[in-house]
Amino acid sequence: MANPVSGFSKKSKTEKIEWLAANYLTDRPDAVALLKNYWNDDSAVQRLHDDFIENTLSNYYLPFGVAPNFLINNTLYALPMVIEESSVVAAASNAAKFWLSRGGFNAEVIATQKNGQVHINFFGKSDHISAFFSEIYPKLIATIESLQKNMKKRGGGLTHLELQDHTETLDGYYQLHATFETLDAMGANFINSCLEAIAHTFETEAKNYPSFQHTASYPEVVLSILSNYVPECLVRAQVSCAVDDLSDKHMEGHVFAKKFVRAIAIANAEKRRAVTHNKGIMNGVDALILATGNDFRAVEAGVHAYAARDGAYRSLTHAKVEDGIFTFWIELPLALGTVGGLTSLHPMVQLAFDILQKPNAQRLMEIVAVAGLAQNFAAIRSLVTTGIQKGHMKMHLMNILNQFQATDTEKQKAIAHFKEHTVSHSAVVAFIDTLRS
């Protein structure tokens, strides 16, 4: 049984590994060597990784791949993607190739505002807190001038601050709702610093406000934090072509378009389908966000909230056919950065931005939205034609072979065999057993 440990963060990396092995990995004699085997040979790079989080023991590698042939706004891109799922990069590449000869992808940023709130308890009269906010407003703005000085020089900073009454949803609940422009930075630290400064001034000034002193009911700041729900930081990506141009060996264009549009309608109407539908979109979005050192958890939370913005969870993509033209599009809320955080620290992130031709934040929003749209197109195309498993299991074949430590010769024979046969876990196991017997 493991014992509690004190001062763990102050131990050396080797001491932490030895403690972990002695307390939790006694049945894994290879554990220490395994953890050390994933250290980077370059000690400077390893020290950099060690400082990203607390209590670092080793590195956890994910594949870094690239999906080529993305024509976006008439510029050709190769998209760096970091993900473990076998079929994602292949699907993105196939979608890119499909649309390369049909005009490519078009994308535009609709809005770039981010937001945060100072959450307040106040059980007095609403006109008192409203009057107080109006009076104190100049001081609230002044209190963050030093924080936003450099941001304002670049054209960003706080753009709006208002008091909102939410007492209908929660008794005594008000908030200061702030919107910001953070340009090429994701801006979380900047926004949170501004909100905390505003909150401090608000609460300090409230203690001396006559109306509050008279009633002995003071506003109380509960917390101050940015929001990862950013519907005002929105990007749209789209593809379009004549219905006849959708024809391929699997299906005539008009049949494909009809089934495709219906599939999107189903995802829009049925939340059980919508969740899986949108998860597929995020396969592409997350892979690119990870590659560029952005916060995929924040993006995931905001995107899924956006999918449910009208009270029902719906498809993030839309499709239509009008006058013989097929159009497929997506709108996503994406708060991304190209400066700050890991974007300037992680060598592979820097390489990813070089591959993307050093985009600014708005261009990165467009590219990420296209990745999500391409991923969804590839998935729906498979679903309404050959079925999702044919392509997916072909990609999964190598994972199954590696599970059984197949030799190079066995892998070559398996690949040749399953070009003509359906891939399943049991079928691969049977084939390997036959080879080995």
pLDDT digits (tens, 9 = 90+) for 53-100: 999 999 999 999 999 999 999 999 999 999 998 889 999 999 999 999
Residue 310 has pLDDT above 60, yes or no: yes
Give me the phi and psi of 318, to 5 degrees please: -140, 150
Residue 6 has pLDDT above 60, yes or no: yes
**CA-closest candidate to residue 333, choices 103, 115, 53:** 115
Residue 391 has pLDDT above 60, yes or no: no
Geometric angle at alpha carbon 83, from 328 and 354, rounded to 5°: 80
Residue 262 · residue 354 · CB < 8 Å:
no
Give me the phi and psi of 68, to 5 degrees please: -90, 175
For the chain, count helices (H), then strands (E). 16, 10
Average pLDDT over residues 380-389: 84
Chosen CATH of 64-111+232-385 out of 3.40.50.620, 3.40.50.10190, 3.40.190.10, 3.90.770.10: 3.90.770.10
Question: Percentage of the chain surpassing pLDDT 90?
Answer: 82
Tell me the C-alpha distance between 277 and 37, whole Å: 38
Residue 423 has pLDDT above 80, yes or no: no
Average pLDDT over residues 126-134: 96
Give the model confidence (pLDDT) of 56-68 as tens digits. Answer: 999 999 999 999 9
pTM (two decimals):
0.89
- Domain 114-226: state its class: alpha beta
Give the model confidence (pLDDT) of 166-211 as tens digits. Answer: 999 999 999 999 999 999 999 999 999 999 999 999 999 999 999 8
Q: Confidence class of residue 216 from pLDDT cuts 50, 70 and 90?
A: confident
**CA-closest candidate to residue 392, choices 431, 429, 430, 418:** 418
Give the CA radius of gyration of the chain.
27
pLDDT number for residue 413: 81
**Number of Cβ within a 10 Å radius of residue 240:** 16
pLDDT number for residue 206: 95
pLDDT number for residue 9: 94
Q: Confidence class of residue 366 from pLDDT cuts 50, 70 and 90?
A: very high
pLDDT greater at residue 417 or residue 150 = 150
Residue 248 has pLDDT above 90, yes or no: no
Q: Confidence class of residue 394 from pLDDT cuts 50, 70 and 90?
A: low
Task: Find all residues with CB under 8 Å of 185, minimum gap 6, and list them.
Answer: 337, 339, 340, 361
Average pLDDT, the chain: 93
Average pLDDT over residues 392-419: 77
pLDDT number for residue 389: 63
Instruction: For 277-298, give one letter per residue: b (16+ CB within 10 A) or e.
Output: bbebbbbbbbbbbbbbbbbbeb
pLDDT number for residue 390: 59
67 burial via Cβ count (<10 Å: 0-12, 13-18, 19+): buried
pLDDT number for residue 422: 76
Tell me the C-alpha distance between 376 and 92, whole Å: 9
Residue 43 · residue 327 · CB < 8 Å:
no
Amino acid at position 39, single letter = W
The least confident of 45-54, 113-122, 265-274, 336-345 is 336-345
206 burial via Cβ count (<10 Å: 0-12, 13-18, 19+): buried
Give the model confidence (pLDDT) of 263-285 as tens digits. Answer: 999 999 999 999 999 999 999 99
Q: Which residues make up the CATH 3.30.70.420 domain(s) of the chain?
A: 114-226
Residue 333 · residue 230 · CB < 8 Å:
yes
pLDDT number for residue 31: 96
pLDDT number for residue 382: 93
Q: What is the DSSP string of 387-423?
A: -HHHHHHHHHHHHHHHHTT--HHHHHHHHHHTTSS--
C-alpha torsion angle, residues 5, 6, 11, 17 (rounded to 10): 10
The residues that bridge with 164 in the sheet, in sequence order, are: 175
Residues with active-site annotation: 85, 279, 295, 392
pLDDT number for residue 215: 76
The residues that bridge with 275 in the sheet, in sequence order, are: none
Residue 388 has pLDDT above 70, yes or no: no
